[in-house]
Each structure stands twice: as structure tokens, then as C-alpha cells.
Amino acid sequence: MITKVINNIRFAARTSLLIFIDEYVKIMLEKIYTYIKVMKSTVKLSFCSVFLLQKFERGKTMFKSPFYKNLLKIAFPIMIQYFITSSLNLMDNFMIGRLGEEAVAALGIANQYFFLLNIIIMGIYSGCNVLIAQFWGKKDLMSIRKVLGISLVLGVAVSVGFTFFGRFFSEEVITIFNKNNEVINLGKNYLELVCISYVFMAISLAFGIGSRGIQKAFLPMICSACALVLNVFFNYVFIFGHFNMPAMGVRGAALATLIARVCEMILILFLIYRKDHVLKASASEMLAFNVEFFKDIMKVTVPVIINELCWGLGMVIYSVIYGNMGTKAIAAVQICMTVQNMFFIVLFAVSNAACVMVGNEIGKDDFETAKDYAKKLIKICLVLSLVMGLALATSSKFILNFYKISHEVYTSALYMLLITAFILPVRFMNVLLIVGVLRGGGDTSYVLKIELATMWLVGVPICMIGAFILKIPVYEVFFFVTIEEVVKCILSIKRYRSKKWMKNLVQNMNTV
């Protein structure tokens, strides 16, 4: 009798908690939507008045300053390149979306495997780029080429490993994320072909990110633009079977990506080696580093690699959790992630520019200018986050109408996009400080601590509890996971204010 009473109490408590969570999230979503509608006119008016009408003469002189010249010089090409990459992913999703929810889920899951590879390679290249930026401030060209050589060796080695497993164990990889037989078959067909492009991508990315570090960001932008055009064209040809080609479905999307990646690599190498480019290095120049130099590079790069890897693994864990909530849940999450990345383009561009600009000044030992740059970048980031958040919220329904999806997937994706729009200022600040200011300043070890603590002690546990214990809808799980971003923002701002993040890593480095 007592056991029955206890079980009834437990059931009542759990039911009450779920009802409370469900109602709370609904109320918050209503508040978010109301807030967005009110802010629509306010932000539009204030943005125009501040940036178009107020102090016009000051605005003209402002953009003549070295800070804004360098920001536009670096950020604009990166922004275009990110837009191209995100557009490529979005076009893939739009075209694959015409094949149904299972195809969307399969492409999303297969891309999670690439996402993990990309995270590792970006960790390697981003860590090396911190040093390239500081060496560029010091004008040490030979050391830049040595760092490029280290990044290429490590990046190609990792991509070869991922290609091997993607080619010969594709079914096992897809099964980790989803148990639906149709999704597994579609994902397998896509992954075993697209994985061949990984090595070509690694080579292109090494030279592209290295070019950013020396403030030559237009080169990778041009190459990415050509790759986008090729990818979209061959998607159209191979997915749906135009120009007398057979309709290959998801496998056609993989073939199109492979062709585009090969052409991108050939183009970027051609453009670098036909001119007197800083990265125009022979094999002997790139491999001229000694053991001590390699160790010094690894001291900076390893924390970034671990940082990106742990963050990437966390994102994969999120995908596994959402995938086990059902095909509709993972399809909604995949759509949300693809769409929101389009609105993060400006943020990613400014953050990467911040890393280069701050790193250049730190390499010169000009800490005061580095602090001034960081302060200005934060102000820019706050304004951009409001504008992008408003744009995301107001365009969400229009974008989702392009997808051929069920009402349940549509509703979940819409709620998640509105939540993303609301939390955007916090996320913008996190990326700017972690990827841009703190990392560019050489504070890679502390950034690692922030990422590990917030994702693995806050975000992932909340996601698992919501999905597997409370079993609440996917958009409610997504909502509570944003607590991770709030905690991360608090820790990042605290570190920035301490001024302990400014470290000249190349001043006493052994470059012989």
C-alpha cells in the first residue's frame, strides 16, 4: 500500500513538472514573439537613426580609421565566404528537402560526421592561425611558412583517416545517429562518396585560413565562390537527373560536392603559386621546422584542437540525443541549424577578423591598440546581434515554407528559430570573445576551460535530462540548452575584463 502511494506521488510530481515546463516554455515563446514584434519597429528606427542620420560627418571619418579599414578588409571577404559556404549547405538542404524528410535527416546525419572532421581540422588551423597572425605582426615570413607546413601535415593526416572510415564503415557511422533503415541507406550512399572530398577540402582550408592570418582574405573568398557555383550546378544535374543524366538523389549531392572541392583546391593553389604570395612556399620551406619549433606551435594549437574537438563532440552528442528523439526531431533540428547558420555569417566574419586584428597587434607588442580594437568589436557585435536576431525572427516562416515537411516538423523548427533569435545577442558575444578576442590574444588555454565547463557540465546534461528523463518536446529541450550560452557569456566577459588574455606567444619563440 505504501509503495503504491509513493509511486502515485512520484507520478504526480513528474506529471506536474512536465506540465510546468511545457507551460513555461509556451509562455516564454509567446513573450519572445511579442518582444520581437515590439522590437521590430524600435530596432529599425534606432538603427537607422544612429547609423544613418546621427553625426554623419563623424561617420565619414570613422571609416577612414585603420581599425575600420582593416575590419572591412578582413571581415568582408570572410563574410562573403561564409555566406557562400552556408548557401551551399542551404541549397543542398533545399534540393534534398524535395526528396522528403528521410533524405533531409540522412544528409544531416552524414554531415555530422564531416562536422566532426571539420571541427578537428579547424582546431588545427585556427590554432596555427593565431600564430600566423602574430608572426605577421612581427613580419616573420619564414616562420609563417613553417606554421603552414605543420598545419598541412596535421590536417591532411586527419582527413585521410576520416576518409578511410567514411568509405569503408559508412553504415556503422550513420547507425550511431539513427536506426531508421531508410535513413541509414540514404546516409550510407551519401557518405561513402562525399568522404573522398575530405583531403581536397583540408588542403584548400589550410591555405585559405593562412591567407586570412596575413590579411589576404579575398583569395579564399574567390575560390569558395567558384566552388559554390559548381556545387549548385552539379546538384541540379545529378540530384534530379537533368541534361540526360540519371537522377541520383542524395548520391548526386555527394558527387557534386566532390567535384566542387577538387576544383576549389586546384584554383587556390594556382592563384597562390602563380604570384609572389607570402604562402608561396616550397616543400622544404614548409618542412624546415625543428622539434623545438613544433613543440612551441603545439603548446598553442593543442588547446585549440581540444577546445574545438570537445565542442564538436558535444554538438555530435546533441545530434545523437535529438536523433534518438525521432526522425521528425532530428529533421527539425537540422533545418534550424542550417537556417540559423545563415544569420551567423556576419558574426563569424567579425570574430575571425577580430582574431587576426588582435593577434597582429599582440605580435607587435602593442597591447593598448589590441584592447581598443577589442572594445570596438564588442560594440559592433551587440548592434549586429540585434539586427540579425530581428531578421531571423521575421523571416523564419518564409524560409520554412521552402521545405516539404510535416506540420510537426515545421512547428518545432519555427519555435527553435524564434528561441535562437531571442538568445542571439548572448551567442554573438560568446563567439566574438572566444573565437576572436581571447583566442587572438593568445589565451587559448583559458578558452578551453570555458568551453569544457559550459558544454559538458551544463549543456549536455540538460539536453539528456530533457530528452530521456523528462521526455519533453524537442523545441523545449532546445530552449533549456540555451542556459549553456548564458553561463558561457558570464565567464567570457569576466575573463575579458581581467585583461589577462593578452599574451605575445611569438616574442621568445625559437624560430631557428
Please determine, for residue 152, whether its predicted confidence score (pLDDT) is greater than 70: yes
Q: Cα dist. 496→337, 385, 448 in Å?
A: 28, 19, 14
Please determine, for residue 14, whether its predicted confidence score (pLDDT) is greater than 90: no
CA 236 to chain centroid: 26
Query: Cell triple for residue 340?
Result: 540559423
Contacts of 372 (CB under 8 A, 6+ apart): 67
pLDDT digits (tens, 9 = 90+) for 343-364: 888 888 888 889 889 988 888 8
Q: Rounded to an integer, what distance in angstroms lies between the CA atom of residue 69 and that of residue 353? A: 11
Res. 52 pLDDT band, cuts 50 70 90:
very low
Q: Rounded to an integer, what distance in angstroms lies between the CA atom of residue 196 and that of residue 445? A: 33
Res. 79 pLDDT band, cuts 50 70 90:
confident
Q: Rounded to an integer, what distance in angstroms lies between the CA atom of residue 473 and that of residue 325? A: 9
How many alpha carbons lie under 13 Å from residue 140 in its C-beta half-sphere?
21
pLDDT digits (tens, 9 = 90+) for 488-505: 999 999 999 988 899 888
Res. 47 pLDDT band, cuts 50 70 90:
very low
Q: Rounded to an integer, what distance in angstroms lies between the CA atom of residue 480 and that of residue 477? A: 5
| pTM of the predicted structure, to 2 decimals | 0.73
Eight-class DSSP state of 403: S
Identify the pLDDT of residue 454: 92
If we measure between CA atoms, which residue out of 439, 487, 436 comes closest to residue 461? 487
Domain positions in the chain are: 65-498
Contacts of 48 (CB under 8 A, 6+ apart): none
Query: Cell triple for residue 267?
Result: 584554383
Beta strands in 375-426 (DSSP E): none
Q: Are 357 and 70 in contact (CB under 8 A)?
A: yes
Res. 50 pLDDT band, cuts 50 70 90:
very low
Identify the pLDDT of residue 63: 55
Q: Rounded to an integer, what distance in angstroms lies between the CA atom of residue 209 and that of residue 92? A: 24
Write out the H or E segment, with its range, that includes residue 188. helix 181-194
Identify the pLDDT of residue 405: 82
pLDDT digits (tens, 9 = 90+) for 243-302: 888 888 888 888 998 999 999 999 999 999 988 888 888 888 898 888 888 888 888 888
Please determine, for residue 481, whether its predicted confidence score (pLDDT) is greater than 80: yes
Contacts of 170 (CB under 8 A, 6+ apart): 187, 188, 191, 192, 195
Q: Rounded to an integer, what distance in angstroms lies between the CA atom of residue 320 and that of residue 165? A: 19
